[in-house]
Structure 1
């Protein structure tokens, strides 16, 4: 065996391998730098269009992961690895992961549609999947909502789209729905007039549309009055509580008796 030839072969092979490793490191560093720049450019373009910041982060994550996979496949191809078989293996692994994580992928897809359709945004007061509160964050797999009692609640994006969505912040004002149960001895027409006048004086109640005060129902206790003022979204709860106080104060000032069930007792004598 020619040791000189073997030594030369090893030297050349080792040198070529070292050069390839250095080139791969350089490709990775430069590729990562380019990926970061591309993601930053995309997010800056979305910010200039005044889109939701969550959408920018969402698309940035997708672009970053996709480009990193392409970069890894390119580096493996540079080393002579058959990338076609690697891509097939990656696709098979993707199918297996997709079958195992179908729920997460469903939430991921629902999140993409949610960011495109925009049924609500961060800061909106909504009711989704039985949870009512203010939207805190829109994520790739779920949203976080802060309920009125200050509890952070997570809801999967798939569940959000599978059920009814109510957005209370889209329109500029809301109607406050309250009722007043009156005694049968109270004139409902006079009561409606008094309550309508009193509710109209509540702070932040809108004049157009005007408060609605009408007889909603008649029952065994007397008249059930619907009291429905309108107000802006930001003053909804304050008007809600002030309306309750106004109803109670109006009933007291008018001297209306409390609604009490009437019991009729018949005594029948047997001969």
Structure 2
């Protein structure tokens, strides 16, 4: 019985089936060849732009290749008369299930793609993002690794990074160091400013252009509060910050300035 069925099939539909097999083989060979060309062209276009990380390029090429191959398989099944509507519904349902289960990871991945393309920061930059401040150690597809100033390795999801404000302190050639110095009411503020200017300018790695800003910031009961703001490269920020405070102490000490104290009237009010 089986032999008769097979013989009947071959005698009536054998030639048509053979043509379908040959067509499917030809479609597979040609389709895979075209997919290779498309993926290669996309990879070259991304590499030519020099804005996308090499790791991300390979990842995107793999995803595109898999998706196009899936389309090719569905097309070949259609040659044999297999209805692909059910397969499409199956893949769609699986996609929704995976998307619901991995929504957080997919969101981080999508954010990572945007960060790779837009490049608001790169490895080695000192940034503040998602409430974390430090040096970027790695910009991954799902998370950004930041080393904070106290040497703590912090991993932040890319979705959280791109949804928050990003401050890149390394993007510009220099940044301002903000310090303050208080002098007593009996001290001439202009004299203090005049003494500080050469002292701050002499600090290593302080830029001459723009020159340090040293002005009266505000007045307090103890005396005027001066802003002392030199400019330097990000790599030297903290050293200049500390050296500025040292220079303020040394300058005021050499000038014999008294230590600012709360006026007696204010102390009496506070004590009462």
TM-score (norm 1): 0.77
Per-residue deviation at 1:250? 1.1
**Residues 50 and 75 from structure 1, CA distance in 2 versus in 1: closer, same or farther, beyond 3 angstroms?**
same
- Mapped contact 1:52–1:121 kept (Cα < 8 A): no
- Mapped contact 2:51–2:119 kept (Cα < 8 A): no
1:221 aligns with 2:222: yes
In the alignment, what sits opposite 1:163?
164
Farther off after superposition, 185-194 or 37-46: 37-46
Alignment size in residue pairs: 257
RMSD (CA atoms): 3.5
1:191 aligns with 2:207: no
Farther off after superposition, 136-145 or 177-186: 136-145
In the alignment, what sits opposite 1:236?
237
**Mapping for residues 92-241 of structure 1, pairs under 5 Å:** 92-241=93-242
- Mapped contact 2:213–2:229 kept (Cα < 8 A): yes
Deviations 1:201-235 (A, max 9, x none): 11111111110001111112212110000112222
**Distance in structure 2 (CA, Å) of the matches to 1:35 and 1:252:** 75
Per-residue deviation at 1:156? 1.8
**Mapping for residues 72-83 of structure 1, pairs under 5 Å:** 73=74, 81-83=82-84
TM-score (norm 2): 0.77
**Residues 246 and 163 from structure 1, CA distance in 2 versus in 1: closer, same or farther, beyond 3 angstroms?**
same
**Distance in structure 2 (CA, Å) of the matches to 1:150 and 1:211:** 30
**Distance in structure 2 (CA, Å) of the matches to 1:145 and 1:36:** 37
Structure 2 residue matching 1:186: 3-state secondary structure: coil
**Residues 226 and 6 from structure 1, CA distance in 2 versus in 1: closer, same or farther, beyond 3 angstroms?**
same
- Mapped contact 1:58–1:140 kept (Cα < 8 A): no
